[in-house]
Amino acid sequence: MAGGLTVARLADVIERRTQARLAARIIGDGARTIEGAAPIESAQSNQLAFLANRRYRTAAAATHAGAIVLSPGDRQQIFSEPPAGVTLIECAAPYAWFAFAAQELAPAPLPRAGIDAAASVDAAARIDPAAHVGPHATIEADAQVGARAQIGAGSFVGRGAQIGADARIMPGVHVHAQCVVGARCIVHSGAVIGADGFGFAPFEGAWVKIPQTGRVVIGDDVEIGANTTIDRGAMGDTVIEDGCKLDNQVQVAHNCRIGAHTVIAGCVGIAGSASIGRGCQLGGAAMIAGHLSIADGCVIGGGTLVARSITTPGHYSGVFPLMPHRDWERNAALVRHLDELRDRIRALERQLDKKGSS
């Protein structure tokens, strides 16, 4: 960060990075130096804030931030004239602009190239000279690690696995044999890529293991959260397409396919051979049953169990509502007897019908 960047410089860099698809209009002092990002309520004069939700308009009007990025509409509404001491950055996608700016202000450190003396790297592994392998990491034969990729302390890259360029494998990640992690992916500590899928055939009251010979294939720009598990395919592959973001403690079973740019919140479980569309959003702790498919662009509410395919994009939910425990006891008991309630309504309807016609 070293002294930060001026607002004008940030705007230039972002315009270039997005090939001019995200341009900003600066109102006020473009030469102001910004050193970091902060929430709108607590930002100081050397920090950048953003406004992306009208609930924070009052806070925006009173902010002490050095600069604030916001939409043209919000700008007009809040700042009829430019405020003293705050540089306004007007832009069509203020939250995205803020994200790009925050990246410029806090760039992930480039790895020290080279293999730590305490790592175990097989002679037949191919490690790019510009990659970094941390202490106590293990890299098996025929594995490949791309340019500028980082393999964190204590991580494991199995036989024949491939880690793409600029990928960041954090400490304590396991990528098993033959699995593929794309370029610029970030995989957080404790994630397990390519453990065996859960496949067994019943035989005489016991279970016979079906060898899991497929792979996990993860596209580019995917982020995998801490302690998330993605199982290798039974015969074909488990596939996570480009740009997906998976939060912590997500479970993806064998032979699933997750469409590009889908985001999956924490604690979600996806059973075997489920196919999730592109651009979906799965809320925290949603559970997806196996062998079904969900259309592109679906939003699944947190805690919802999806037990059948969804073919129409939309927002779906299914969660028992919260109540005081005593109310719950009474109402949950009635849920068990909804069929009786329905029958009593039917009986009443028939009685009244008869009376009506008599």
Interface of this chain with its own copies, residues 296 to 315, rule: CB under 8 A: 299, 301-308, 314-315
Q: How far is the CB of 80 from its own copies (least distance, A)?
A: 27
Q: Is 84 in the site for its own copies (CB under 8 A)?
A: no
Among 134, 160, 164, 277, binds its own copies (CB under 8 A): 134
Residue 122 tokens read as: 């097989």
Q: What is the spatial distance between Cα 39 and Cα 198, in angstroms, rounded to a whole number?
A: 44
Q: Is 56 in the site for its own copies (CB under 8 A)?
A: no
Q: What is the spatial distance between Cα 85 and Cα 106, in angstroms, rounded to a whole number?
A: 23
Instruction: Name residues whose C-beta falls within 8 Å of residue 244's C-beta, 6 or more positions apart in sequence.
Output: 219, 222, 223, 258, 259, 260, 261, 262, 263, 264
Residue 101 tokens read as: 């700016």
**Between 78 and 137, whose beta carbon lies closer to its own copies?**
137
Q: Is 102 in the site for its own copies (CB under 8 A)?
A: yes
Residues 121/135, Cβ–Cβ less than 8 Å: no
The β-bridge partners of 17 are none
**Between 7 and 268, whose beta carbon lies closer to its own copies?**
268
Q: How far is the CB of 255 from its own copies (least distance, A)?
A: 9
Residues 67/87, Cβ–Cβ less than 8 Å: yes
Stretch that binds its own copies, among 3-11, 58-66, 76-84, 324-332 (CB under 8 A): 324-332
Question: Which 8-state DSSP code applies to residue 239?
Answer: E
Q: How far is the CB of 13 from its own copies (least distance, A)?
A: 14
Q: What is the spatial distance between Cα 261 and Cα 243, in angstroms, rounded to a whole number?
A: 4
**Between 31 and 307, whose beta carbon lies closer to its own copies?**
307
Interface of this chain with its own copies, residues 226 to 285, rule: CB under 8 A: 226-227, 229, 231, 235-236, 243, 245, 247-249, 251, 253, 261, 263, 265-267, 269, 271, 279, 284-285
Q: Which of 254, 261, 291, 337 is catalytic?
A: 254
337 as an active site residue: the answer is no
Q: Return the H-helix or E-strand segment holding 352.
A: helix 338-357
- What are the residue numbers of the active site? 254
